[in-house]
Amino acid sequence: MKTNKKLILITAFAAISFAAFLGGCKKDDYVEVDAVCPLVLTTDPADGATNVALDKVITITFNEEMNPATITQASILLNGVSTIAGTVTSNGNTAYFTPTAPLTANTTYTGRVTTAVKDINGNSLQADYVWTFSTGSTISPVVIATDPANTQTGVPINKTLSATFNMAMDPLTINTTTFKVMQGTTPVTGAVAYGVGNTAYFIPAGPLLLNTVYTATITTGAKNTIGTPMAANYTWTFTTGSLAAPTVISTDPANNATGVALNKTITATFSEVMNPLTINATTFTVKQGLAVVTGVVTYTGTVASFKPTVNLLPNTVYTATITTGAQNLAGTGLANNYVWTFTTGNAVNPIVISTDPVNNATGVALNKIVTATFNMVMDPLTINATTFTIMQGTTPVLGVVTYSGSTASFAAAVPFTANLPYTATITTGAKSLAGTPLASNYVWTFTTGNNLAPLVISTDPVDNAISVPLNKVVTATFNMAMNPATINFATFTLYNGAIPVAGTVSYIGNTASFTPTGNLLPNTDYIATITTGARNVAGTPLATNYVWNFTTNTSINPGPVVLNTAARFGILAGVGVSNNAGFSVINNMDVGIYPGVRSSVTGFPPAIIVNGAIYASDDIAPPGTPAMLLQAKTDLTNAYLAAEAAVSPAPVTVSGDLGGLTLAPGIYKSTSTLAIGNGNLTLDAQGNPNAFWIFQIASGFTTVGGAGGSVILTGGAQAKNVYWQTGSSAVIGDYTSFQGNILALTSITMNSHATAIGRMLARNGAVVMTHTNIINKP
């Protein structure tokens, strides 16, 4: 009987339960049937919450999956002073209410979930669920954009992730705790940074996995600058691709660099070779604020360069950008735009505008003198073996560095080794006269050939010779036998400006000769050239064209004084050359000292030589310098003796002070000292441009300077035809404007601000410029 009673009770309970199921999910005073009726488990904000953000998204979490068709604006309600408009969405067991506009500050709101909501089995909420919360006075920060975007695929494995907020954030709250990346349940290690544009960055410590899903999260620990946190975690996902993106590994100028030169070429170096077609003015930009800087974009190797059309503005901030449009050869673009800034200074940097040999040249002669030409005059003291170097691999090449005009030269102490690559460098230690260095090291390479190149070791007339006879045969002598077939009218040329001179070319011994068809023009500058088409008997050409200049005389028979090789010098001294103070200039002529040595040449800079160079007896480069100086001193001595001995026309005896006089062409002889002080001395050629003057001075020669003491040329007189042969020393007075060539036995001094059109040639002593002197070629 007990068994029958138990069976009856079980049957009765089952019947009651089935009846309840058939009648729907009802509120029961005795029991709530869990997992059958839907229930609200939690809300965010919670019931009674305060200081809720004004842009809060309301979430409701149920105990089971709900029917999304029942989760609507009619079943999820929010009321403040009035009903709040918004969008209702759902996902599984969670419903979301997103207000259309921010909530009102410091207001109590009531949330309501009605019994119209049902689970996926059709069971309704047993009663409306009601809760309240109060807003604060601030809006929470929100993420408004991410890179990569949510669900993006094919993301480069070296991608830097970013999330951009709608407001400025507290950088201290943007860290590896609040910005996390996960691969499944495995955290990705990396660094987090917060930069411009309200953007947080996550830089993975290493490449991401190929073809893998990742989840990124910004947590509510991220706060704005007044301490308001995110209203909820922000999460997005992305999937990597199969290739790594190229990166920018360095820039010049570097990010945040200051004092950048106004003529700076901006460069960016990539981690791999890029598609040149994608490196252009669209993908490489420079801006000054919102203004786009115009320029030319080029690409070589792995380096993109932006050369502004005009100099940048001084003391100005610029922003450079390489966009994701820049792609490697596989078509993969940068993972992110690469942006950097720099600030200009006030100066223009010197730059190397050409080299010889050029970059990547091959077959370079073993005795090649390597040169680099700048865009401006440089400080000669900064052009040396430290700032101009040549390396063969890691081995430095020994040599001598010289500087002339705007060109630096490196002469190797011994010939280069055949068939090897060399690297030449001009460092940032090379500076202009204003003290501005190169913006960056200038580097180029070349590869040698097998042979020594032939050299021109002498010419007649010499470079910069004057008073050359009009019937002159021009010659060039080589250091080795040449192939006569290569010495011809094409390889040995003579020009008057742009006009070629007709003539015949011959070759005997080691000397090539150019014989003009007719006499040269009087008082005319000529340019002679031996080109690289001239080859030795082994077929090796000159390493570079050899060029020299000379000026003809006014007639076939020159005057009694011929300077020959001494004519190339604006200053030629025996024991010393000095510039004591100020910015002195020698234009279009050289400075030489023999037998004195280079250490006896001082004050250069601030003194400079334009289109010329300093040569000293102890120079080993250019080759043949000591012999060249010895010849120049010999020619100076011969010219001095010729001027001293000249007797035609008959000398006129003078003495004392020539100031205030006007003298016709001729020879003027003083048996003692001579001066120009009581007014200016005028030399009148009387319409004859060939007229010459020789002043034979037995002792010292002085000009007083100031209001008088200058030399004035008139009637077509030319300074190159005026000779001051001085038996001891000459002094050119303060502020004197001097004309002519001084040939002094001992020394020459130019006092403060004295200028000359002529030459200061001292046989045995020194030439001294005391302060801010100028010497121009006559």
The domain limits of the chain are 40-135, 143-240, 248-344, 352-448, 456-552, 561-778
List helix spans (H) across 192-280: none
List helix spans (H) across 165-303: none
pLDDT at residue 467, rounded to an integer: 80
pLDDT at residue 96, rounded to an integer: 95
What are the strands of the beta sheet with 284-288, ordered from one edge?
257-260, 338-344, 317-322, 284-288, 291-292
Q: Does 40-135 carry CATH code 2.60.40.1220?
A: yes
Residue 619: burial class (beta carbons within 10 Å; 0-12, 13-18, 19+): buried
**Residue 304 is inside which H or E element, if any?**
strand 303-308
Q: How far apart are CA 714 and CA 708, in angstroms?
A: 17
In the CATH scheme, what is the code of domain 456-552?
2.60.40.1220
Q: ∠225-230-235 over CA atoms, to 5°? A: 130
Q: How far apart are CA 460 and CA 482, in angstroms?
A: 18
Residue 144 to residues 141, 167, 271: CA-CA distances in angstroms?
9, 10, 31
With CA atoms as reference, report the closest residue to 287 among 258, 312, 255, 259.
312
Q: Can you name the CATH fold of 352-448?
A: Immunoglobulin-like (2.60.40)
Tokens for 215, please give them.
């989840």
pLDDT at residue 215, rounded to an integer: 97
Largest CA-CA distance found in the chain, in angstroms, rounded: 172
Architecture of domain 248-344: Sandwich (2.60)
Q: How far apart are CA 267 and CA 252, in angstroms?
A: 5
pLDDT at residue 21, rounded to an integer: 41
**Residue 20 is inside which H or E element, if any?**
helix 2-22
- Tell me the pairing of strands 701-703 and 722-726: unpaired
Q: How far is CA 330 from the centre of its chain?
A: 30
Q: Do domains 40-135 and 456-552 have the same CATH topology?
A: yes
- In the beta sheet, which residues pair with residue 326? none
For residue range 397-411, what is the model confidence (pLDDT) as tens digits?
999 999 988 899 999
With CA atoms as reference, report the closest residue to 710 among 754, 743, 751, 671.
754
pLDDT at residue 559, rounded to an integer: 62
Q: Does 143-240 carry CATH code 2.60.40.1220?
A: yes
pLDDT at residue 518, rounded to an integer: 87
For residue range 267-314, what is the model confidence (pLDDT) as tens digits?
999 998 899 999 999 999 999 999 999 999 999 989 999 999 998 898
pLDDT at residue 554, rounded to an integer: 66
Report CA dihedral (143, 149, 151, 155) to the nearest 10 degrees. -140
Tokens for 412, please give them.
């190797």
Stretches in the chain below the pLDDT threshold 70: 1-35, 242, 554-559, 706-707
pLDDT at residue 420, rounded to an integer: 93
